[in-house]
Amino acid sequence: MSETQDFEALTRYAKAFTGLTPEREACLLEVSEQLQPLLATVTDKFYEQLGHIPETAPFLEGRVDTLKKSHLAWIQSLFTGPFDISCTELMYKVGDIHVKVHLPVEFMAGAMSMINNELILLVIEQFADDQEKMALVLTSINSITSFSLFVMQQSYQESTVAEELDKFLRISGMSRVLFTNLANAYSD
Ligand code: HEM
């Protein structure tokens, strides 16, 4: 977990960008009961599709069952909340774990697009007779999945820079204190 990240500020920032408003949060909670039993199929389809992409398949070998469990718990949480700083901290940690297993950053946006595609179809099927409700559910889901993506990508940025700095210090033999002093003294 990052010690430098201001999670309250990041929560506000991510909500502003993704339109995760109190009305949409309430909508996610409201449709939870109806959608929960259908979410395992979204997870199953997600891993089936990832298995067909040559770049993603190697990361799944021997761990699909475990990954499906983590993924299903995450997708269920999109409809149960809480949509607060704890959610931001969790998604930041998930992003960090992906950096540690060396997943390319584009996997995050690509994967979220697959998940959204499946959720859109599911919502259309469930709320076909109420267009106004369907629109609210779709925008609410788009907001919460985009929120998750936004936070994971912030985490990628920070974790990648931290890993590269660690590597540089190991290769160069420079101490962290010396690096910090040099960085503080440097100005363009
Ligand atoms: C929307 C995108 C994704 C979400 C929301 C997501 C969610 C998660 C969650 C919740 C965990 C568990 C973190 C923990 O242990 O606390 C995890 C771990 C992991 N995910 Fe993802 N994931 C996504 C995309 C992907 C993709 C595209 C791949 C690979 C193709 C992948 C591979 C992994 C791996 C290898 C781990 C670590 C397992 C371990 O602990 O060794 N994830 N992911």
89-109 tens-digit pLDDT: 999 999 999 998 999 999 999
130-136-138 Cα angle (round to 5): 95
- Residue 98 CA to ligand 1 centre (angstroms): 6
DSSP-based three-state secondary structure for 5: coil
* Ligand 1 atom at minimal distance to the Cα of residue 112: 1
The Cα–Cα gap between 181 and 70 comes to 41
pLDDT value for 1 = 52
The Cα–Cα gap between 51 and 57 comes to 5
| Closest Cα to atom 26 of ligand 1 | 107
Which residues have C-beta within 8 Å of that of residue 174, sequence separation ≥ 6?
168
Q: Is 40 in the pocket of ligand 1 (CB under 6 A)?
A: no
| Closest Cα to atom 7 of ligand 1 | 71
Q: Does position 49 have pLDDT exceeding 80, yes or no?
A: yes
Name which residue leads in pLDDT, 35 or 168. Answer: 35
The Cα–Cα gap between 41 and 107 comes to 20
Which of 45, 53, 59, 98 has most ligand 1 atoms within 8 Å of CB, for mutation? 98
- Residue 69 CA to ligand 1 centre (angstroms): 10
Answer for the pair 43, 106: CB distance below 8 angstroms, yes or no. Answer: no
Q: Tokens representing 136?
A: 């609210």
* Digit-coded pLDDT (tens) for 121-175: 999 999 999 999 999 999 999 999 999 999 999 988 887 788 788 899 999 999 9
Q: Is 120 in the pocket of ligand 1 (CB under 6 A)?
A: no
Cis preceding-peptide flag for 54 (omega within 30 of 0):
no
pLDDT value for 54 = 96
Task: Tell me the CA end-to-end span of the chain in Å, nearest whole number.
Answer: 31
- Give whole-number Cα distances, 115 to 69, 119, 169, in Å: 15, 6, 39
pLDDT value for 162 = 80
| Closest Cα to atom 38 of ligand 1 | 67
Q: What is the pTM of this model?
A: 0.90
Which residues have C-beta within 8 Å of that of residue 52, sequence separation ≥ 6?
none
The Cα–Cα gap between 103 and 180 comes to 29
Q: Hunting for tokens 């996997």 — which residue is that?
A: 107
The CATH architecture annotation of domain 7-159 reads Orthogonal Bundle (1.10)
- Residue 154 CA to ligand 1 centre (angstroms): 16
